[in-house]
């Protein structure tokens, strides 16, 4: 598989794709290992997961540098990502006992009914490049600890990360077949899903990939989780702390160089604070440093691939042609690498690409609304429903409004984020199913009813 460093356009050493025979051997190993892995005690599996967390903490820099080299993430964010992976390992190592405990429904001297949580077998994970470690660990930490085995098909531009994740589990002492990376293109996926030894599928990525993988899983009657795109609203009400909203909003839009499913993408601002917010937002956006992702002072690195940068640029250009006003940014930087500056567009027509589509780069669409009801209407006028953020000094008002947003999560006076303790996932075309927390570990278990009398 060819890999390109998106900051320098240097071609990295290719990594060999797996042949059909190697894929077959990996599935065999996954099935064989499952037979013994599922019978290990939960405390043994929890101990191994804690060791994986330690491995990530001990060699944070080694792993972070691979992500930065392959997909261009600023190194400080890559380090934070590896630390967050260690956190999700710690979380499930500590909580799996209570999350997977039997749920007792009836307990009498000679009769008992309960629900036990049992593994289902090998689970295929199709994962994206944007958080190349985190997206995988948030699947693997709970799914493996529940007693399943995992097969990873990572995005084609991050095979080095795929191999590094396999290494984390090996170094932590996991049996070899518990977690394996398949170095394959997306054309191999349907065949793997059709293999009746695969018992579940999860995908994080685009709506297009979600339809392909979810469709194949449906045909095979496999449980699946789909975490797809988003076009999250960031609502600033008339009583918001505008300066803080502008500062946090900048971060919410530009984290990971703008390539995040839960990035704030549509800024919906009450007209009473619109001018103040837009001024503060542009000042914050223009203060960000863009450049070498290996430099610790860099805020924005390159876009992960040239085609993705070109797509973002085209969406912005079409929005401007449809009547949007460019406030800052809007042209790729004239230098080596795939650098796109943080961009702000106001007067965004609702049916333009920045109004309707997911923009997977550092470009913010700003809308002015006359009142709270219109803010909700604009927020919900999207085919997506992943996250959302509301800014108001009145917490009751924020809570009431949060209930009206059609999404998998809403944060009041905070940016949308994933957290091992909280369920994560979307509604509408942002997908279905939940990851993380107790909900996530139950995505790939057999919730078995047992009646004894």
List residues with catalytic annotation: 227, 261
CA distance 274 to 277: 5
Q: How far is the CB of 409 from ligand NDP (least distance, A)?
A: 14
Phi, psi of 329 (to 5 degrees): 80, -150
Q: How far is the CB of 257 from ligand NDP (least distance, A)?
A: 12
Q: How far is the CB of 439 from ligand NDP (least distance, A)?
A: 18
The angle formed by the CA atoms of residues 380, 205 and 224, to the nearest 5 degrees, is 90
Q: Which two tokens stand for residue 195?
A: 């293999």
Q: Which two tokens stand for residue 88?
A: 């999700």
CA distance 211 to 217: 10
Q: How far is the CB of 103 from ligand NDP (least distance, A)?
A: 31
SS3 of 279, please? helix
Alpha helices in 38-172 (DSSP H): 42-58, 60-71, 75-99, 134-145, 159-172
Radius of gyration of the chain (CA): 22
CA distance 135 to 158: 12
Terminal-to-terminal C-alpha distance of the chain: 58
Our CB check for ligand NDP shows the closer of 6 and 119 to be: 6
Q: Which two tokens stand for residue 380?
A: 């919900």
Our CB check for ligand NDP shows the closer of 47 and 417 to be: 417
Which residues are near ligand NDP by CB under 6 A? 126-130, 153-156, 185-186, 189, 204-206, 209, 212-213, 227-229, 261, 308, 358, 360
Q: How far is the CB of 218 from ligand NDP (least distance, A)?
A: 13
What is the DSSP-derived secondary structure letter of residue 431? E
């Amino acid at each position: 598989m060819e890999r390109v460093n998106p900051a320098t356009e240097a071609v990295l050493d290719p990594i060999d794709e797996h042949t059909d025979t190697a894929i077959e051997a990996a599935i065999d190993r996954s099935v064989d290992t499952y037979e013994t892995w599922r019978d290990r005690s939960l405390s043994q599996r929890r101990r191994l997961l804690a060791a994986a967390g330690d491995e990530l903490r001990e060699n944070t820099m080694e792993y972070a540098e691979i992500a930065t080299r392959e997909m261009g993430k600023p190194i400080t964010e890559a380090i934070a990502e590896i630390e967050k992976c260690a956190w999700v390992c710690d979380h499930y190592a500590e909580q799996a006992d209570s999350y997977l405990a039997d749920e007792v429904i009836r307990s009498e001297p000679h009769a008992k009914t309960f629900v036990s949580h049992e593994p289902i077998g090998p689970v295929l994970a199709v994962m994206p490049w944007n958080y190349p470690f985190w997206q995988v660990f948030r699947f693997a930490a709970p799914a493996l600890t529940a007693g399943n085995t995992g097969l990873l098909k990572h995005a084609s531009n991050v095979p080095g990360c795929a191999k590094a994740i396999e290494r984390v589990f090996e170094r932590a002492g996991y049996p070899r077949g518990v977690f394996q990376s398949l170095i394959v293109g997306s054309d191999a996926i349907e065949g793997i899903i059709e293999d009746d030894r695969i018992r579940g599928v999860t995908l994080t990525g685009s709506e297009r990939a979600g339809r392909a993988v979810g469709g194949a899983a449906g045909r095979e009657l496999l449980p699946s989780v789909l975490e797809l795109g988003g076009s999250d609203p960031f609502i600033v009400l008339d009583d918001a702390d505008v300066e803080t909203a502008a500062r946090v909003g900048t971060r919410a839009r530009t984290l990971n160089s703008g390539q995040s499913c839960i990035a704030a993408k549509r800024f919906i601002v009450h007209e009473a604070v619109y001018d103040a917010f837009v001024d503060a937002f542009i000042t914050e956006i223009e203060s960000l440093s863009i450049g070498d992702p290996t430099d610790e002072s860099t805020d924005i690195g390159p876009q992960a691939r040239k085609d993705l940068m070109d797509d973002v640029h085209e969406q912005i250009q079409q929005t401007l042609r449809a009547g949007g006003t460019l406030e800052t940014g809007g042209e790729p930087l004239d230098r080596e690498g795939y650098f796109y500056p943080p961009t702000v567009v106001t007067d965004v027509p609702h049916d333009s690409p920045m109004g309707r589509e997911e923009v997977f780069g550092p470009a913010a669409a700003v809308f002015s609304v006359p009142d709270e009801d219109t803010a909700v209407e604009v927020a919900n006028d999207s085919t997506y429903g992943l996250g959302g953020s509301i800014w108001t000094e009145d917490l009751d008002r924020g809570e009431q409004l949060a209930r009206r947003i059609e999404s998998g999560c809403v944060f009041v006076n905070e940016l949308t984020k994933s957290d091992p303790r909280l369920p994560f996932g979307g509604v509408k075309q942002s997908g279905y199913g939940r990851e993380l927390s107790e909900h996530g570990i139950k995505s790939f278990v057999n919730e078995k009813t047992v009646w004894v009398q």
